[in-house]
Structure 1
Amino acid sequence: MAAALTSLTPDSGPATSFTTVVIAGSGFADVGPLTVRFGTQATTFTIDSDTQITAVAPTGTGTVDVTVAVESNGVSNALPFTYV
């Protein structure tokens, strides 16, 4: 089963600096390689638990979809992150 996202904290951040974002959901631990993307940009992250990831939002503009891809299980639902 693909990871499922329920919230981003915060769900917005500065366009020109890196923002730490906590991603809440399920299906993050012990599922194999993960990729966290803000729009099309993959970013660095830490898996805190099966229900939480801490990621770093790359620089960007506008509103982008945040997703978590699990190599063997597909891509999660998307949640919006807005650059301000």
Structure 2
Amino acid sequence: MSVVPPAGPTSGGTTVTLTGSGLSGATAVTFGSAPAAFTVVSDSSLVATTPTGSGTVQVTVTTPGGTSNSLAYTYTAPPAI
């Protein structure tokens, strides 16, 4: 499975694409312990919107077949002004 992009702002709201297999029955996507809104595109792709967060967290997808191996997603702080 992969996550693109692998990083985004701590404020969340980034649209990420998760690709893999068996995703059509996805029931949950989490970034760390925070649930994310998501839409299944196909059996091999879904799109999720990141919740707010910080640091590097593990992204998991839950399907009727179980929970995916986790992938890293890194929240980045906005640049100082």
TM-score range, shorter chain: 0.7 to 0.9
> Unaligned regions of 5+ residues in structure 1, if any?
1-5
Structure 1 segments, 4+ long, off by >6 Å, are none
Q: Which has the higher contact order (CA 8 A, sep 6+)?
A: 1
Over the aligned positions, Cα root-mean-square deviation in angstroms equals 1.1
Task: Determine whether 1:42 maps to 2:50.
Answer: no
* TM-score with structure 2 setting the length: 0.88
Larger Rg: 2
* TM-score with structure 1 setting the length: 0.85
Q: Answer whether contact 2:12 2:49 (CA < 8 A) is retained.
A: no
Please state which structure has a larger fraction of its residues in strand: 1
- Aligned-pair identity in percent equals 43
How big is the shift at 1:8? 0.7
1:14 alignment partner in structure 2: 9
> Unaligned regions of 5+ residues in structure 2, if any?
77-81
